[in-house]
Structure 1
Amino acid sequence: MRHVVFLSGAGISAESGIKTFRDAGGLWEEYDVMEVCSAEAFRRRRQFVLEFYNKRRRDLADKLPNAAHRMIARLQKAFPGRVQNITQNIDDLFEKAGCLETIHLHGELTKARCEHCGRVWDIGYGEIAGTERCPFCGAAKVRHHVVMFNEAAPEYSRLYRAVEALADEGMLVVIGTSGLVLPVDSFARFAASSILNNLEPQPSLDEGAFTTVLHEPATAAAPKIERMVKEVLG
């Protein structure tokens, strides 16, 4: 059965006002990424890292989904079970847009996790002070539910299964990613057809691997992508 896999990065949420790490004016200009987003930094400066994510959570509270998020939500509802949404982002804009299911490869900012028992729960836009106890096991080991550098990313297994399934009449749609973290151009070669949407060419990506390339903001590309997906899914 024909199906579509969406794979998005920070670029899809940038137009909603969420800062990316790599772009000009992004978070890498404000912070040393390895001091706030690595397992080593968390071991050395636990409270500092918790506060970094508290700030990002506060900033997320008033952010709204844009046309690209809403486009994917519409397609999931129009074609139940045939549109898979996978994102590298930790924001909740797909959920706000009404997506039926989203695989967050790198965790979710609005959730906490217990380092002792591994349970995960919603905290919305609240803060993690570092003194909380897990509501399930009582351990004082509560942290942000975000995959940092040099930590395991268990959801990647679901990504790889989705990529393998593209060989069965699948379409891959990649939006707003540099290709530095995931080899999305290699993924495109598994698909029967593929779309790449970035604001501009990325030196780390082989754009020739994609059937269609759109260099424009995600919100501008969204109507075109929606039309092409509908043509594939019928």
Structure 2
Amino acid sequence: MKKNIVVLTGAGISAESGINTFRDADGLWEGHDVMEVASPQGFANNPELVLDFYNQRRRQLLSVFPNAAHHALVDLEENFDVTIITQNVDDLHERAGSSQIYHIHGELLKARCTYNEDIVLDWKKDLVLGDLSDTGHQLRPHIVWFGEQVPVLEKAISITSKADILIIIGTSMQVYPAAGLIHEVVAHMPIYFIDPKPSVNQNDFNNLKIIAESATVGVPTLVTTLLGTTT
């Protein structure tokens, strides 16, 4: 039976494909207060601003491609059952070919109805006021905004608790609830943390190995090692 590997990915893995991380050094989201562009209140106050913000993100996403780290995670599926839990709203894991992906914060290439959140549509073009679902209500980005519930969180916790190995890539581990998933693995389970500026302390976990490299360097190296242990 194949071992289960759970991979938690953050902005660092997508940044190497050329995707801007939303949050600037001063805490603003590309010049905007986070509540202006990533909250239900912000959307209610200025829907055109919010739609334009995500339209720009969507256009950028469609111009970039998966990188070596995304592709290396696909290679892991040769010998492991791999589930990716990503904080990223892009589709780079899908385009690389990974088969099991859960998006904690939603998906940029989808839109959903503001009246019935179960109505979710694939969406690659600009989303503007007047784009309606079949119910006649405005569509919004299929993004989990601040103050909203995380629909896949319970599933993510369940998956992580069954992991044989946890790999964390390119995340500050500062944004909850995703950051809490590291505490869901069973005791003494191997944890690999790949980030050029790791934000966790190795002494906090007796089963943690830090790989202080970029995703495109650290992930292929770790994957080669893990695949070598199963041959």
Measure the CA separation in 2 of the matches of 1:200 and 1:41.
32
Shift of 1:57: 0.4
For the pair 1:42 / 2:43, whether they are aligned, the reply is: yes
Q: Which residue identity is paired with 1:11?
A: G
- CA distance in 1 between counterparts of 2:214 and 2:62 reads 23
Give secondary structure in 1 for the equivalent of 2:121: strand
Corresponding position of 1:92 = 91
Amino acid at match of 1:165: K
| Superposition CA RMSD, Å | 2.1
Letter in 2 for 1:139: G
Structure 1 residue 95: deviation in Å? 1.3
1:83 aligned onto 2:77? no
Distance 1:138 1:94 in 2: 31
Q: Residue 62 of structure 1: SS of its match in structure 2? A: coil
Alignment of 1:140-151 (within 5 A): 140-151=137-148
Measured after TM superposition, the shift of residue 192 of structure 1 is 1.6
Q: Which residue of 2 aligns with 1:103?
A: 102
Q: CA deviation at 1:29?
A: 4.9
Cα distance change, pair 191–99 in 1 and its aligned pair in 2 (3 A): farther
Picking from 165, 170, 178, the partner of 2:172 is 178
- Counterpart Cα distance in 1 of 2:21 and 2:220: 23
Shift of 1:191: 5.7
Q: Residue in 1 aligned with 2:221?
A: 224
SS in 1 for 2:29: helix
The 5 Å alignment of 1:114-153 reads 114-117=113-116, 118-124=118-124, 126-134=125-133, 137-153=134-150
Structure 1 length normalisation: TM-score? Answer: 0.87
Q: Distance in 2 between matches of 1:95 and 1:6?
A: 14
Aligned equivalent of 1:31:
32
Task: Give the deviation of 1:113 after TM superposition.
Answer: 0.6
Partners of 1:120 and 1:34 lie apart in 2 by: 23
- Structure 2 residues not aligned, in runs of 5+: none
Unmatched tracts of structure 1, length 5 or more? none
Q: Pick from 147, 154, 158: which aligns with 2:155?
A: 158
- Residue 96 of structure 1: how far off its partner (Å): 1.4
SS of 1:109's equivalent?
A: strand
Read off the aligned partner of 2:154 and give its amino acid letter: S
